[in-house]
Structure 1
């Protein structure tokens, strides 16, 4: 397909995704120069074709005129007409004279062929140059795409490694906090159990001390208690029935500690004689 200036003007290239490629202004200026040169060459070719056609037509016309003009016969002139000038008969064009004309007509054809070959050679050079530029742009775009993909992959792997390290660190921190929580709970439980054990031990009542026996003349001796006295449990003794308690044993009072079981002892064979105390003085109970 022949390349025309309109093809160069209407040619549109796809824009690259990663870079703009060559300078668009320089490319446009170069394409404008190509368009001007192609238009000049086309105009020159048209002129040369017209000159070639005109030369071919002129050459054909000359060839036809040379073939149609035969040599005119020379007749003897009358005697009376000897003084008259002889008519001038145009001499036919010699055959060798046609060759220079043919050569002159062939010269424009050679120039036209040379111009056509030059235009075709320029066209092929421009096509090869455009193809080389296209392949270079494609290779450069593929290399740029591969570089961007490699950088993105490397960045993604780096981010994944950083996130994995952060996850491992957080997991270790969580494990440490769980271990600390478990130990803290165990220590707190042990501490609370110890405190509860101490509280339980301090809540038990201590053994009360035995009450002192009241002296004679105290309000409690010989008088009835103001409140009913709870019945004491019967104490089993090995003494015979009807035996009186020994002197010096403390009576039971309300709120006092429970009496301990009496120890068995042999019954006395005799009792001491009663003594008369002085006036205003009472002997102590059990003295």
Structure 2
């Protein structure tokens, strides 16, 4: 499908998302205006040449062809006229083909540039998207690592505190057991000593002779 100035005039490029890099919109519009004007000039010039060729084929004489054709000497014979006509026709066709080729090349270049710009915009957008995803993933992994480190530290602190409390309780339990054992030993010793003392007192009472009562008269004197 041939490219027309209207196609160039109506072409629209997607604008990059907010924060994305892209080409300056004003510069792109200026460039497309130049392409549109040049393409229109080439098409107009091509149409003019085709009109001159058609007029010449109908037997008329075009107003202008090229500087070479205008400078050519007038034919003197019918054979020379046919030869010159064929040469002019070939020159006109060659010029038309050249202009058409240049117009197509320019159109292809414009389309290639537009496609390259579009691909570059897509590549830039994908690159930035990948960078954002990578950054978010890195941040998430770092947050997860920090959370695990904090959790491990809290667990280690809790274990250390638990061991400290258990150690203190075991030490207190041992001290109390030792105190209880000491009290029991003291109780046994005290009971043994008390039992021996009571036994000795009873033995002394048994060995002491009873006192005889004194007469009452003797007591009166």
Q: TM-score range, shorter-chain basis?
A: 0.5 to 0.7
Which residue is 1:172 aligned to? 156
Pair 1:19–1:266, CA change in 2 (3 A): closer
Could you give the per-residue CA deviations for residues 103-158 of structure 1, whole angstroms, max 9, x where no partner exists?
A: 33443333222111111121222233333334444444443333333332222222
Q: Say if 1:5 and 1:38, in contact at 8 Å, map to a contact too.
A: yes
Deviation at 1:265, TM superposition (A): 6.0
Could you give the per-residue CA deviations for residues 18-41 of structure 1, whole angstroms, max 9, x where no partner exists?
A: 623222221121111111111222
Q: Say if 1:59 and 1:102, in contact at 8 Å, map to a contact too.
A: no
For 1:140 and 1:269, how far apart are their aligned partners in 2?
131
Could you give the per-residue CA deviations for residues 18-68 of structure 1, whole angstroms, max 9, x where no partner exists?
A: 6232222211211111111112222222222222222221259xxxxxxxx
Q: Say if 1:52 and 1:108, in contact at 8 Å, map to a contact too.
A: yes
For 1:159 and 1:137, how far apart are their aligned partners in 2?
33
For 1:148 and 1:269, how far apart are their aligned partners in 2?
119
Which residue is 1:39 aligned to? 40
Pair 1:277–1:25, CA change in 2 (3 A): farther
Deviation at 1:261, TM superposition (A): 11
Task: Specify the structure having the higher radius of gyration (Cα).
Answer: 1
What is the correspondence of 1:34-113 to structure 2 with a 5 Å cutoff? Answer: 34-58=35-59, 94-99=77-82, 100-113=84-97
How many residue pairs match? The answer is 186
Among 87, 104, 123, the residue aligned to 1:120: 104
Pair 1:277–1:94, CA change in 2 (3 A): same
For 1:20 and 1:140, how far apart are their aligned partners in 2?
7
Q: Between Structure 1 and Structure 2, which shows a larger proportion of helix residues?
A: 2
What is the correspondence of 1:248-259 to structure 2 with a 5 Å cutoff? Answer: none
Could you give the per-residue CA deviations for residues 78-101 of structure 1, whole angstroms, max 9, x where no partner exists?
A: xxxxxxxxxxxxxxx841352234
Unaligned runs of at least 5 residues, structure 2: 62-75, 184-193, 195-201
Could you give the per-residue CA deviations for residues 168-222 of structure 1, whole angstroms, max 9, x where no partner exists?
A: 111122223333444555667788997xxx9xxxxxxxx9xxxxxxxxxxxxxxx
Unaligned runs of at least 5 residues, structure 1: 61-92, 199-206, 208-259, 279-287
Which residue is 1:83 aligned to? none
Q: Say if 1:45 and 1:115, in contact at 8 Å, map to a contact too.
A: yes
For 2:35 and 2:147, how far apart are their aligned partners in 1?
58
Pair 1:44–1:177, CA change in 2 (3 A): same
Pair 1:265–1:97, CA change in 2 (3 A): closer
Q: Say if 1:59 and 1:105, in contact at 8 Å, map to a contact too.
A: no
Which residue is 2:215 aligned to? 273
Which residue is 1:28 aligned to? 29
